Amino acid sequence: MDPIAPETPPGHRPAKTRTFKMRLSPDDAAKLKSWAHENELSQADFARFMIFARTSYAPPNSSKLEAVARQLVSIATNLNQCQKTINIARASGTLTAAQFEAMHKAVRDGLTAWSEPLDELRSELKKLRPAD
């Protein structure tokens, strides 16, 4: 154990006590500011992520993730409404075979529609994995 820098307990982040300065051209400073803003991070947090994550990827694009989440919520809401309608009709005895088939098709279509935004979400989340 280093007496100058004692070990920190698991789950506890040590205080940031060191400063690192970097000179940037106006263009590079604007890029850093833009990238950090796009990812809803401070410029320092964005730089830390890029340095210490050991990955060549940028953090997932937060606005893209929000759009994917909205799509998935919309699809899930439609699937839940469809399932609720099926259950009500079945409980009341008014569900015909044709209605059930139409509802089943709607559920299948919803699941198919779910796959594209889910793949996009997975693609964005892979960016968080460290490079080998």
Structure tokens at 116: 């594209």
Per-residue model confidence (pLDDT) at position 24: 93
Per-residue model confidence (pLDDT) at position 31: 92
The range of the structural domain enclosing residue 94 comes to: 62-126
Residues 35 and 86 in one domain: no
Cα separation, 86 vs 99, in Å, equals 9
Is 88 a member of any domain?
yes
Is 96 a member of any domain?
yes
Per-residue model confidence (pLDDT) at position 125: 74
Say if CB 28 and CB 50 are below 8 A apart: no
Residues 88 and 122 in one domain: yes
Check residue 37 and give left, alpha or beta (phi > 0: left; psi -120 to 50: alpha): alpha
Cα separation, 23 vs 35, in Å, equals 17
Which residue, 75, 57, 54, 62, is CA-closest to 131? 54
Say if CB 78 and CB 71 are below 8 A apart: no
Residues of the chain with pLDDT under 70: 1-13, 54-60, 127-132
Per-residue model confidence (pLDDT) at position 82: 82
Is 66 a member of any domain?
yes
Per-residue model confidence (pLDDT) at position 10: 59
Per-residue model confidence (pLDDT) at position 1: 44
Residues 68 and 122 in one domain: yes
Cα separation, 114 vs 73, in Å, equals 10
Q: Work out how many domains the chain is built from and give that number.
A: 2
Helical packing angle, 43-52 and 26-38, nearest 10°:
90
